[in-house]
A and B are shown apart, each in its own frame.
Chain A
Amino acid sequence: MSTESDINLVVEEIGKVLLGKERQIRLALCCLFCKGHLLIEDLPGMGKTTLSHALAQVLRLSHKRVQFTSDLLPADILGYSIYDKNTAQFQFHPGPVFTEVLLADEINRTTPKTQSALLEAMAEGQVTVEGETRVLKPPFFVIATQNPVTQSGTYPLPESQLDRFLMRIELGYPDPSAERKLYLGVDSKAQLAALEQRLNAADLERISDAAAKIKTSDALLDYLQRLVEYSRSAEEFAYGLSPRGALALLRAARTWALMEGRSHVVPEDVQAVLPAVCGHRFRAAAHFQGDSAALVHQLLNQVAVIA
């Protein structure tokens, strides 16, 4: 079976619980295939948690869920040592971070201190607790959800932490027909549990390797550089895309091309992943009357594909 049809099956399976959101599902999968962490941002009740659960379920990855609250402490995520009377020793109780998929719900509800506890795990794939560094067994994904920062009681993630997420996606309201189906549907909890496994950890590795072999021609790299250059020079942008951001964009575009069944990246692939990969990395300059979505829109419209 080809990679493309494999992936289509996964999308179809998740589509059973998250109706009418094929594009978002594909982006989320793309992010996982890139071995990147995913941030899902939307209002409460839009299906963020459902998507993250479904992803873990179809891939049959061990997953743990942490509901982030304002009184959550780093130890609650990383784990802690407890003195055992029987052995007369401290014994380490690993926290929820020791898993394959960590679902960090409402990550921006917690304090920066706890947010930063995730930093090392996300960036290095290891955690240091009480002076001892423990490696997290790959695969390790963080799927975090957050409410829009404009809502009250949130601590916006700092730029450094946002940068650790390969993609940020928004779900948005479902279209009317999908929503009607939702009303008629059965218990979603049972549905989630009923999702079949479509890929395993080995498949993930295979897809990741295949994506690295996707061709990127000079013309495409030129286009990528024009995009990067525009974000750095246009005065609407407070700052441009970093080299890490550009690399992330290229990696995601490769995976997207693979998911589209192509052996090479075309500009459309870059354009498809750019809003998710770059949206949270941009900030508008103070005088620009628009948000980062407007910046992405401008970037895609202004930078010529053929030049």
Chain B
Amino acid sequence: MAVVFQIPRNCLAALLVAQLAVLAPHLFRLPLWVSAVAIVCALWRLLLYMGRGFYPSGVLKTLLVIISIVAILSEYGNLFSLEPIIALLITTFALKLIEMKSRRDVLVVIYLAYFVAATHFLFEQGIIDALYILLTAALVTGALVALHETEERPALSHAFGASTKLIAQAIPLTVIMFIVFPRIDPLWSVPGAESRAKTGPSDSMSPGDISNLAGSSDLAFRVSFDGSIPPADQLYWRGLVFSHFDGRRWSAGSNKSAEMSWTQYVRSVSMDTSKLSDASSYTVTMEASRQPWLYAMPLARSDTKSVLQAGNATLRTIYPLDQRFQYRVNSWQNYVLEPELDGYRRGIELQLPDGFNPDTLDFARQKRREAGSAAAYVQSILRMFNREQFAYTIRPPKLGRHSVDEFLFSTRSGFCEHYASSFVVLMRAAGIPARVVVGYQGGELNPFENYLLVHEFDAHAWAEVWFQGRGWQRVDPTAAVAPERVESSINELLAEEIGENSALPFFNFRELPMLRWARLRWDSVNYSWTKWVLNYDTELQMQVLEEWLGQVNGWRIALFVLLSGGAVMLLVALSLLRQKVKHKLHVIDKCYLKHVRAAGRLGLKRSDGEGADTFATRVAAEYPELADSAKRIAHLYNSIRYNTHSGQQAPTDLQRKLRNEVRQFVRAAGMQTRKATVNEADHFAAPAS
């Protein structure tokens, strides 16, 4: 009779647990029916496990596969992007459960489980995610262990215990390999998940856009400075520059397509870089925004790969950010941007739509005449915002067609985009080139790692005004209305309003100190994770290795791997040894074993279970010359160790005798050894007659 393979019951149970753990994070991302299929398959398998139910027939299996593919196609429209592929993978993974019969099938499911677990990293790379996947790896390995166990180990916990041990032992070696193994750039890029919403400012700005962002407590980016952190009123993170106004919406207009390297940029604006000084260097770690723009303080230069310089002195990436992105920036405070504007550029920066905001235009021209100089005009407008009844609010009233007119002369309450927008319109109407800048302002200091956290609610809009010879100057009209906005966080300023809608429960200014401490601590851990693990690229690797090894070359890396790997092995060995050697040998035993070693050199090996008399008899049989000595040693040894009642000690003179006897034996045995060697040599030297 052929032996029918039975999947060990423990293995099945372990596999079901492992599969549930592997699928859990995916279930929230996938369409509901995929989760349903996974659960139904698991239940089906559970029935089979309990001895009920039936295995699906070939026709049914084919049908299920076709239905799944059709369902995925109709759900996503295509098959070849990240989410449908993952959905397909998980559906087949679940279906494989119910046709699993042979050992080979189980192995396929287990290996597939490892793969599915790893795909979670395509979506999330946080520290919690990593720990969770480590846990699932232990569970899947547990199933693998259970598959190879005999039926007699009933406890499922044994398999999981073994796998946890395995994983725990693998961790130190993984860390070492992570540190030294060459970081290889991906051979192809996996398309990002498409369902994610874009975050942060978009490529245009109309009233209400920024105030929407103010309701979000998501992290936009983190900044860690090489030196000290500049004062809050300098922390203007420039991201987008809008020069075109259509009456309602600000956008980049014709200015947007110029992207180039720093050198090209310097040449194109004919800037004198030698005058730049007082740079501050920092590293920005952007969260995935699914937008291509980057944020930096002016005037910014970044040499990070795939970062480009845009014509309006902002930074861009080549592709939208599908995952966290880290870049280095040098910023200078004493820059002069475009000291001269030609007619064409001037036309762009003075553009205003026809037929909008007639009252504002009149008002601007009149004010400009009254003020005299351009600088005085700017001051008078700011003074107007400051002195008159303008209010700063997160929920301004809706505006009609002539939005600037309505804002300036009737509603008079708005968020930063209203002030920036109307300010630029006022400037342009008076013939002064000006533009809107959108980005973030400020940031929260994390004292644990000394870096800034910039959240979505720090999104801000301000203005840049051009002066002959001095170039573009930042003017923040919001600062005139609500100076505290720049000095402190928006939360504290708008605490009451935000508190009402309670969209930001944790960021309430009444936040408990404990909660704040925990939040910042946790963020600092996350930041370190991003900085040292997720962004551990070739460059950082070289930097780390250079710091540790002094110089990076093959020899030193090999030595490092050997030493650190050896250290891990040594620790394991030591812990094993500690279990074995629980106590020290008795002094008499040590002395006795000396003569055993001497005999060992003569080729007489004593086994662990051999008593002294037995051994002496063996020695006597092999080496009659040593017989007496060996027997005396055995007798003395037995007398000392065994001829006493429990708790008694043997007389010390016996010990002395034993020592003497052992010494003599060792000497005699040594002579025997030499004799043996000489005999052997004679034997070999004997002429072949």
**Cα A306 to Cα B594 with chains together (Å):** 13
In contact, A221 and B646 (Cβ under 8 angstroms): yes
Decide yes or no: A266 and B589 within 8 Å by CB, A216-B646, A217-B645 being known contacts.
Answer: no
**CB nearest to A306 among chain B residues:** B589
In contact, B646 and A267 (Cβ under 8 angstroms): no
A304 part of interface (Cβ distance < 8 Å): yes
In contact, B608 and A287 (Cβ under 8 angstroms): no
A195-235 vs B, Cβ < 8 Å mask (1 yes, 0 no)? 00000000000000000000111111100000000000000
B51 part of interface (Cβ distance < 8 Å): no
Interface residues of B in 640-671 (CB under 8 A from A): 641-648
**CB nearest to A219 among chain B residues:** B641
A186 part of interface (Cβ distance < 8 Å): no
In contact, A215 and B608 (Cβ under 8 angstroms): no
B377 part of interface (Cβ distance < 8 Å): no
B602-629 vs A, Cβ < 8 Å mask (1 yes, 0 no)? 0000011111111000000000000000
In contact, A215 and B643 (Cβ under 8 angstroms): yes
Please name all residues of chain A whose beta carbon is closer than 8 Å to the beta carbon of B642 when the two chains form the complex.
215, 217, 219-220, 264-267
In contact, A264 and B611 (Cβ under 8 angstroms): no
**CB nearest to A213 among chain B residues:** B645
Contact of B645 among A215, A267, A287 (CB under 8 A): A215
B593 part of interface (Cβ distance < 8 Å): yes
Contact of A266 among B593, B609, B611 (CB under 8 A): B611
In contact, A263 and B643 (Cβ under 8 angstroms): yes
Decide yes or no: A215 and B613 within 8 Å by CB, A287-B150, A303-B608 being known contacts.
Answer: no
**CB nearest to A263 among chain B residues:** B643
Interface residues of B in 122-152 (CB under 8 A from A): 150, 152
Please name all residues of chain A whose beta carbon is closer than 8 Å to the beta carbon of B643 when the two chains form the complex.
215, 217, 263-264
A268-307 vs B, Cβ < 8 Å mask (1 yes, 0 no)? 1001000000000000001100000000000011111111
Nearest Cβ on chain A to B383's Cβ, whole angstroms? 90
Nearest Cβ on chain A to B117's Cβ, whole angstroms? 33
Decide yes or no: A301 and B641 within 8 Å by CB, A286-B152, A287-B150, A306-B585 being known contacts.
Answer: no
In contact, B644 and A306 (Cβ under 8 angstroms): no
In contact, A217 and B648 (Cβ under 8 angstroms): yes
In contact, B609 and A305 (Cβ under 8 angstroms): yes
Decide yes or no: A218 and B646 within 8 Å by CB, A300-B609, A305-B610 being known contacts.
Answer: yes
In contact, A301 and B152 (Cβ under 8 angstroms): no
Nearest Cβ on chain A to B631's Cβ, whole angstroms? 13
B592 part of interface (Cβ distance < 8 Å): yes
**Cα A215 to Cα B593 with chains together (Å):** 24
In contact, A268 and B607 (Cβ under 8 angstroms): no
B206-241 vs A, Cβ < 8 Å mask (1 yes, 0 no)? 000000000000000000000000000000000000
The interface centre, meaning the residue of A220, A267, A300 with most chain B CB atoms within 10 A of its CB, is A267
B638 part of interface (Cβ distance < 8 Å): yes
In contact, B641 and A217 (Cβ under 8 angstroms): yes
**CB nearest to B150 among chain A residues:** A287
Number of A-B contacts (CB under 8 A): 65
In contact, A266 and B152 (Cβ under 8 angstroms): no
Number of interface residues of A (CB under 8 A): 24
In contact, A271 and B609 (Cβ under 8 angstroms): yes
Decide yes or no: A301 and B607 within 8 Å by CB, A217-B642, A266-B613 being known contacts.
Answer: yes
The interface centre, meaning the residue of B150, B641, B646 with most chain A CB atoms within 10 A of its CB, is B641
B401 part of interface (Cβ distance < 8 Å): no
**CB nearest to A215 among chain B residues:** B645
Nearest Cβ on chain B to A255's Cβ, whole angstroms? 16
Nearest Cβ on chain A to B647's Cβ, whole angstroms? 7
Interface residues of A in 56-104 (CB under 8 A from B): none
Decide yes or no: A305 and B608 within 8 Å by CB, A268-B613, A268-B614, A287-B150 being known contacts.
Answer: yes
B586 part of interface (Cβ distance < 8 Å): yes
Please name all residues of chain B whose beta carbon is closer than 8 Å to the beta carbon of A286 when the two chains form the complex.
152
Nearest Cβ on chain B to A86's Cβ, whole angstroms? 62
Please name all residues of chain B whose beta carbon is closer than 8 Å to the beta carbon of A219 when the two chains form the complex.
586, 641-642
**Cα A306 to Cα B612 with chains together (Å):** 9
**CB nearest to A260 among chain B residues:** B613
Please name all residues of chain B whose beta carbon is closer than 8 Å to the beta carbon of A215 when the two chains form the complex.
642-645
Contact of A267 among B152, B585, B611, B644 (CB under 8 A): B611
Decide yes or no: A217 and B612 within 8 Å by CB, A286-B152, A287-B150 being known contacts.
Answer: no
**CB nearest to B612 among chain A residues:** A266
**Cα A307 to Cα B609 with chains together (Å):** 10
Please name all residues of chain B whose beta carbon is closer than 8 Å to the beta carbon of A268 when the two chains form the complex.
611, 613-614
**Cα A217 to Cα B643 with chains together (Å):** 7
Nearest Cβ on chain A to B585's Cβ, whole angstroms? 7
Nearest Cβ on chain A to B632's Cβ, whole angstroms? 15
Please name all residues of chain A whose beta carbon is closer than 8 Å to the beta carbon of B644 when the two chains form the complex.
215, 217-218, 264
Please name all residues of chain A whose beta carbon is closer than 8 Å to the beta carbon of B646 when the two chains form the complex.
216-218, 221
Contact of A306 among B150, B592, B645, B648 (CB under 8 A): B592
Please name all residues of chain A whose beta carbon is closer than 8 Å to the beta carbon of B150 when the two chains form the complex.
287
**CB nearest to B586 among chain A residues:** A219
**Cα A217 to Cα B641 with chains together (Å):** 7
**Cα A303 to Cα B607 with chains together (Å):** 10
In contact, B608 and A302 (Cβ under 8 angstroms): yes
Nearest Cβ on chain A to B578's Cβ, whole angstroms? 15
Nearest Cβ on chain B to A296's Cβ, whole angstroms? 11
Nearest Cβ on chain A to B672's Cβ, whole angstroms? 23
**Cα A294 to Cα B610 with chains together (Å):** 17
Nearest Cβ on chain B to A257's Cβ, whole angstroms? 9
Nearest Cβ on chain A to B191's Cβ, whole angstroms? 52
In contact, B609 and A304 (Cβ under 8 angstroms): yes
Please name all residues of chain A whose beta carbon is closer than 8 Å to the beta carbon of B638 when the two chains form the complex.
264, 266
**CB nearest to B617 among chain A residues:** A268
B571-610 vs A, Cβ < 8 Å mask (1 yes, 0 no)? 0000000000000011001001100000000000001111
**CB nearest to B641 among chain A residues:** A219
Nearest Cβ on chain A to B21's Cβ, whole angstroms? 30
Please name all residues of chain B whose beta carbon is closer than 8 Å to the beta carbon of A264 when the two chains form the complex.
638, 642-644
**CB nearest to A299 among chain B residues:** B609
Nearest Cβ on chain A to B593's Cβ, whole angstroms? 7
A232-258 vs B, Cβ < 8 Å mask (1 yes, 0 no)? 000000000000000000000000000
**Cα A306 to Cα B641 with chains together (Å):** 10
**Cα A220 to Cα B647 with chains together (Å):** 11
**Cα A266 to Cα B592 with chains together (Å):** 15
**Cα A264 to Cα B611 with chains together (Å):** 14
**CB nearest to B613 among chain A residues:** A268
Please name all residues of chain A whose beta carbon is closer than 8 Å to the beta carbon of B593 when the two chains form the complex.
306
Nearest Cβ on chain B to A298's Cβ, whole angstroms? 10
Can you list the 7 inter-chain pairs with the closest CB atoms, starting with the nearest? A304-B608, A267-B611, A268-B611, A264-B643, A219-B641, A217-B644, A301-B609
Q: A216-B645, A266-B642 are in contact. List 17 more A-B contacts (CB 8 A).
A: A215-B642, A217-B641, A217-B642, A217-B643, A217-B644, A217-B646, A218-B644, A218-B647, A219-B641, A221-B646, A263-B643, A264-B644, A266-B613, A268-B613, A286-B152, A306-B589, A306-B592
What are 18 A-B pairs with beta-carbon distances under 8 A?
A215-B642, A215-B643, A215-B644, A215-B645, A217-B641, A217-B646, A219-B586, A219-B642, A220-B641, A264-B644, A265-B642, A266-B611, A267-B642, A303-B609, A305-B608, A305-B610, A305-B612, A306-B585
